[in-house]
Structure 1
């Protein structure tokens, strides 16, 4: 967090992740294939938390401090690998998401399917 207690922006987070990996000489292992595999594993760990919860329990998962901590950590792991993958592949995640939202707005217009 910065002095104003605001979270860093995505490029700053990507730089920190790259510096973290470089300081440990992990770059040779951070190939797209390996990053996608690690991302999948971390996403599965997030799924595991919710797997056997009822819909109602899943909506309250953040009410329990231990569960909230686990969910937050797994979300961070998923985001870390996704940001590293974007960095390696030269994808701007903000631009990619904005473009995808625009395509989805065209694909699924309001009013279709009873909305």
Structure 2
């Protein structure tokens, strides 16, 4: 079993909340600042892959130091997203499932399979 299988999103949100409250960071975390953080952390993840070929990217996941760097950025993105959801009472699973239902309607398998077209291009 992995921790992904054993850990709830609510547990992660609680850990983020405790971490931030212990540091008195509520005063710095509003919707705008957290949305900026999500974007910045996502850009830092993207930067790791800039100008890399598919082969170079594949290798990055096999080298422990570069894999750790990637995982650190993924964790930073998740932290900012969880903090946003925690502060603004967003049920991540409910909203994810709601959005996936919309995506399934926008991208029916018979049109979207094997295609990178946007839903309005079908």
Please report the TM-score for the alignment, with normalisation by the length of structure 1: 0.88
Quickly say closer, same or farther: Cα 1:102–1:55, change in 2 above 3 A: same
- Structure 1: tracts of 5 or more residues without a match: none
| C-alpha RMSD of the superposition | 1.7
Matches within 5 A, 1:16-95: 16-95=15-94
* CA distance in structure 1 between the aligned counterparts of 2:69 and 2:113, rounded to whole angstroms: 37
- Structure 2: tracts of 5 or more residues without a match: 115-122
Secondary structure in structure 1 of the residue aligned to 2:3: coil
* CA distance in structure 2 between the aligned counterparts of 1:60 and 1:111, rounded to whole angstroms: 34
Quickly say closer, same or farther: Cα 1:76–1:112, change in 2 above 3 A: same
**TM-aligned CA deviation for residue 5 of structure 1:** 6.1
**More deviation, 105-114/18-27:** 105-114
* CA distance in structure 1 between the aligned counterparts of 2:113 and 2:71, rounded to whole angstroms: 35
**TM-aligned CA deviation for residue 75 of structure 1:** 0.2
Q: Post-superposition, which runs of at least 4 consecutive aligned residues in structure 1 deviate over 6 A?
A: none
* CA distance in structure 2 between the aligned counterparts of 1:21 and 1:85, rounded to whole angstroms: 12
* Residue equivalent to 2:97: 98
Quickly say closer, same or farther: Cα 1:56–1:31, change in 2 above 3 A: same
* CA distance in structure 1 between the aligned counterparts of 2:50 and 2:30, rounded to whole angstroms: 30
Secondary structure in structure 1 of the residue aligned to 2:48: helix
* CA distance in structure 2 between the aligned counterparts of 1:6 and 1:113, rounded to whole angstroms: 33
- Indicate which of 6, 18, 27 corresponds to 2:3: 6
* CA distance in structure 2 between the aligned counterparts of 1:23 and 1:11, rounded to whole angstroms: 18
* CA distance in structure 2 between the aligned counterparts of 1:60 and 1:15, rounded to whole angstroms: 35
